[in-house]
Each structure stands twice: as C-alpha cells, then as structure tokens.
Amino acid sequence: MSAETTSQTNPGSTSAPSSLTGRLRLIGPGVVLALASVGASDMITTMNSGAEYGLALIWVFTVGIILKFVLSEAVSRLQMSGDRSLLSHLTSFGGRTFPAVFLIAELLVGLFFGAGVVAVATNILQTIFPVLPFWPTAIVVLISAVVLVGIGRYGLVEKAMMGFGVLMFFGIIALAISVFQGQGAQEVAVETMAPTFPNGSIITVMSLIGGVGGATGILAYSYWIREKSWRSAEWKPVVRLDLFVSYGLVFVFAVAMSAVGAFILYGQGFTISDNGSLFAIADSLVGRIGDVGRMVFLISFLAVVYTSVLGGFSGIAYVTADCVRVLRRYSRQDEERFEMSAKSVEFRGALVYLGIATLAIMSLGQPVTLVLIYAAISAFILPVLAAALLVILNRSSVPESLRNKGVSNVLLSVCFLLFGFLAVLQVKESVMGLMG
C-alpha cells in the first residue's frame, strides 16, 4: 500500500497525500471551523447588510474572510513548526503572558457563549415543535453538546458538524434561490450589485469586516489539526486546502444571507435587531414562498446555531484547557505525559465549567457589567494573536517553509491594525456602557 493511500485511510499517519483527491478526502477541521465561526449574530449582521445595502457590501465580507484566512493559515503554520500545542508555541514569545490573557478571555467567553446559543437553539426547536417546554429542551440541547464534545472526542464532533453543515448550507442556498424568484428580487440584485461604501462610514465597514467568523475558532483550529495528526510542514498543502474550503463556506453563508436580507427587506427600512427579528423573518416567508420556505429557514437557522454550540464548546474547551495546562505545567509543558488532549483533566474541567456557566447565566440573565468586560477583553484576541504571529513566524528557529513571506507579513500587519482598531472601539463602547 502506498504512503498516500495509507494517509488517506489513517489520519494518524505521518505521510501527507500529494494528490488533490487525497487531500480533499481528509477535509474536516476547516468545515468545523467554518460552522463554529458563524452563528445567529452573523445571520443578523449579514441579513441587515442586505436589508440596508442590498448586495453592495459583499466586498466587505470578502475582505474580512480573507484576513481571517490569513490569521488561520498563520496559526496552522505555527502549529506545524513543532509538535507542541499552540499555547506552548506562544510561550516562546511572552512566557506565561499569552496563556494568562487568553485564559481570562476564554473564561469570559465561556461564561456567556453557552447561555446565548443554547437558548436560541431551544427557541428554534420550540418554534418548530410548539409543544416543547423551554427548560427540559434547553437541558437536552446542552447535554447533547457536552456529551458529543466530551465523550465522542473530536472525531465524532467533526462527523456530526459535517452532517449539520450539509443541511445548513443546502438550506440557506435553496432559500436564497427561492427568494430570488420573488417579485422585485431581480431588480434589487441589479440595482445593488455594484460595490459601495456605506454612508462614507469607515467604522461601519471595519465593523462588518470583523463581524463574520470567530476568534476562538481560529485559535481552536490548531488543536483540531493536531487531532488529525497534521503536525509537520509536509501537511501545509492539506491545511491550506482545508482552510480554503472553510472560508469558502463562510463566504457562501455570508453571500446567501445577504441575498435573503436584500430580496426580502431591501428598501423597507426594517432592521434585524435581535434573534426575535429572525423569527419574524421566518413568519414573513410564508407569504412569499409558503410554509416550506419558513421551515427551511428555521431548520437552517437551527443548524447554524447548533453547530456553533458544538464547535464553540469544542474550541473553548481546547483553548481554555491548554491555557490551564501550560500555566500548571509551565516548566514541563512539553513532556509527553502532559500533552494537550481531549482526555486530559483540564479539558474535562473546561466542559464542566461550560455546562455550569450555561445553566447559571440562563437562570440569572446576562449581567451587563460582565458582558461589557467580556466584550472588551475578547476583542483583543485577534490583534494580540496577529502580533505574536508576526514575531514568531519570522524567527530562524521556525522551519523555512513555514516562516512568513513578504505577503504574509503585510497581511498580518493589516490584521493587527484592523482588529486592533476594532478592539479599541469595543473598549470605548464597554467603558461608556460601564459609566452609564
């Protein structure tokens, strides 16, 4: 049996496939990244842009997706530069600083993430099946996610998310095509197809660029490719193809949801302000494309939210657990017995934390002060990561094939400046909120 065939049938093998077909057969972590990175808030963002500007801001999402591809690709190169976890690599630039800062950020993300997405998933299920009670349904949703992530490990999570992903993307594309057949949709498409700059507002543009795709997913991608044993430079072509597919799916999602917003709401002055507005959109689809269209929207909506639950829990658990592991085992972090793993006590502890935090915040509501602090701290993940990647991936200790090239340095610098600016805006907004 050839090395290529072996690598296709055994993801844990050390040989990377050289053919396109062989590489495509291994696609997986990128799909998990795509599905984990888009959620209800991204549906609101993209549909709102369509409602207000039609198709004219697709270029904005495209820029944001390209920049996040650049960050993810750089993270994967750092991961493949040595068989250590991402946080272990980052300790070579700043010591314990990154594990400590990211731990605080991830604990705050975990505090609110689960409550939001589990509640939305439950509300969607209640809309589809009105007889379902809220709390028992929410607990089932939560337990199913924790069990899949904790007991099934990464492999089962990937399979489950790819199944939901097929449902989600085909549903969204079918929905976009259906509403395009509606009255006036073609006229809206022609009228708004030309790229535009919204109201001359650089803030709006930069916020939209930062809006599609999540920071924790970018960090977590390094752990998912470790689970696939893509741990050396020879896997770089596989990883790049995986990420290309990933952000291609994110692009399709953004365009399709922008189109739905444009073809249904453009010119009506309607703003989608919260998840409740998304349910109103589902009801409005009955008059346009019937009950089937409403159900397709709700099922796609459910797939978007539930995959973000699974991917988010997996990503937060990996990053949080690795921060704790590195801080606990700092001087021995690279010993094989302390290797980052979904079987580790830190990973299981992070999942327990996510479950308890989800129930607690759902019971208490979201404390405004903590939400504002969480938003401010988590906003700095991407610019800090971009800065670290600029430094570490230009060092001679990194294999030459994995170091930054000129284009990478330029684009990572753009990421640092752009996401740094957005972080400053978020801090300003949080401070103003804390001051009342």
Q: Among residues 149, 125, 143, 121, which one has the least CA distance to residue 40? A: 121
pTM for this one? 0.90
Q: In a 10 Å sphere around its CB, with 0-12 CB exposed, 13-18 middle and 19+ buried, how is residue 30 labelled?
A: buried
Maximum Cα–Cα distance across the chain: 68
Q: State residue 230's pLDDT score.
A: 93
Is the CB of residue 65 less than 8 Å from the CB of residue 258?
no
Cα(89)–Cα(334) distance, rounded to whole angstroms? 10
Cα(109)–Cα(220) distance, rounded to whole angstroms? 13
- Please report, for residues 29, 240, 399, the alpha-carbon distance to residue 237 in angstroms, rounded to integers and kept in the order given: 14, 5, 15
Please give the full DSSP string across 65-86, using - where no structure is assigned. Answer: HHHHHHHHHHHHHHHHTSSS-H
Cα(157)–Cα(313) distance, rounded to whole angstroms? 10
Q: State residue 3's pLDDT score.
A: 40
The pLDDT tens digits along the chain (436 residues) read 334 443 443 444 468 999 999 999 999 999 999 998 888 788 888 888 888 889 998 998 899 899 999 999 999 999 999 889 999 999 988 889 889 989 998 998 888 888 888 998 999 999 999 999 999 999 999 999 999 999 867 888 999 999 988 888 888 888 888 888 777 788 888 888 888 877 656 666 766 776 655 788 999 999 999 999 998 999 999 999 999 999 999 999 989 989 988 888 887 767 676 667 777 777 777 677 778 888 888 999 899 999 999 999 999 999 999 999 999 988 888 888 888 888 899 999 999 999 999 999 988 876 667 667 767 777 888 998 999 999 999 999 999 999 999 999 999 999 999 989 888 888 888 788 777 6
Q: State residue 43's pLDDT score.
A: 83
Is the CB of residue 294 less than 8 Å from the CB of residue 282?
yes
Q: Among residues 45, 36, 67, 40, which one has the least CA distance to residue 382? A: 67
Q: State residue 407's pLDDT score.
A: 95
Name the DSSP letter for residue 338: G
Q: Among residues 243, 319, 234, which one has the least CA distance to residue 67? A: 243
Cα(318)–Cα(58) distance, rounded to whole angstroms? 32
At position 117, the amino acid (one-letter code) is V
- Domains of the chain plus CATH, in order, are 27-364 (1.10.4160.10)
How many angstroms from the chain centroid is the CA of residue 176? 22
**Encoding tokens for residue 111?**
């505090």
Cα(234)–Cα(11) distance, rounded to whole angstroms? 14
**Encoding tokens for residue 93?**
């630039």
Phi, psi for 275 (deg, rounded to 5):
-65, -30
At position 340, the amino acid (one-letter code) is M
Cα(249)–Cα(253) distance, rounded to whole angstroms? 6
Q: State residue 72's pLDDT score.
A: 96
